[in-house]
Structure 1
Amino acid sequence: MNKPFQPVDFPLPENIERSELVLSCAQFNENLQFFIDKLGFKLDSISPADNPRVAQVSAYGQCIQLQFGEDPETPITLRLLYQSANGDDNEDEEETILIAPNGTCIAFAPAIEAPTVPAICQSFVLSKKDSPLIWNDGRAGMSYRDLIPGRQGGRVIASHIRIQQGGPVADYNHYHNVRFQMIYCYKGWVRVVYQDQGADFVLNPGDCVMQPTGIRHRVMACSPGLEVVEISCPA
Structure 2
Amino acid sequence: MHNEGTPRYDGPLELAKSLSALSQISASGTPWNREGLRADSEYRDLGLATVTNGRIGAKHIRALNPFTEPTGWHWHDMTAHYLYVLRGSVTFRFAGLDSDVTLSAGDGLSQPAGVPHNVMARSDDLEVIEINEPAVFGTWDLAEPPAPWK
- TM-score normalised over the length of structure 2: 0.67
Give the counterpart letter for 2:46 in structure 1: L
How far the C-alpha of 1:132 sits from its partner, in A, is: 5.2
Q: Over residues 52-97 of structure 1, what are the superposed CA-to-partner deviations in whole Å (9 max), with x where a residue is unaligned?
A: xxxxxxxxxxxxxxxxxxxxxxxxxxxxxxxxxxxxxxxxxxxxxx
| Residue 135 of structure 1, aligned match among 33, 55, 59 | 33
> What is the identity percentage for the equivalent residue pairs of Structure 1 and Structure 2?
30
Which one scores higher on RCO, CA 8 angstroms, separation ≥ 6? 2
Structure 2 residue ranges without an equivalent (≥5): 1-17, 136-150
> Aligned equivalents of 1:121 and 1:143: distance in 2?
30
Runs of 4+ aligned residues of structure 1 deviating over 4 Å after TM superposition are none
> Aligned equivalents of 2:60 and 2:35: distance in 1?
12
User: Are 1:166 and 2:66 counterparts?
Assistant: yes
Matched position secondary structure for 1:167: coil
Q: Over residues 112-145 of structure 1, what are the superposed CA-to-partner deviations in whole Å (9 max), with x where a residue is unaligned?
A: xxxxxxxx96112222335452323323322221
Structure 1 residue ranges without an equivalent (≥5): 1-119
How far the C-alpha of 1:176 sits from its partner, in A, is: 1.3
Matched position secondary structure for 2:127: strand
> Aligned equivalents of 1:231 and 1:169: distance in 2?
24
- TM-score normalised over the length of structure 1: 0.45
CA contact (8 A) 1:144 1:161 kept: yes
User: Are 1:224 and 2:124 counterparts?
Assistant: yes
Structure 2 vs 1, CA of residues 152 and 224 (structure 1 numbering), >3 Å: closer, same or farther? same
Structure 2 vs 1, CA of residues 158 and 169 (structure 1 numbering), >3 Å: closer, same or farther? farther
> Aligned equivalents of 2:59 and 2:30: distance in 1?
16
CA contact (8 A) 1:172 1:218 kept: yes
> Aligned equivalents of 2:134 and 2:51: distance in 1?
9
Structure 2 vs 1, CA of residues 157 and 169 (structure 1 numbering), >3 Å: closer, same or farther? farther
CA contact (8 A) 2:88 2:124 kept: yes
CA contact (8 A) 2:92 2:118 kept: yes
Instruction: Give RMSD over aligned pairs.
Output: 2.1
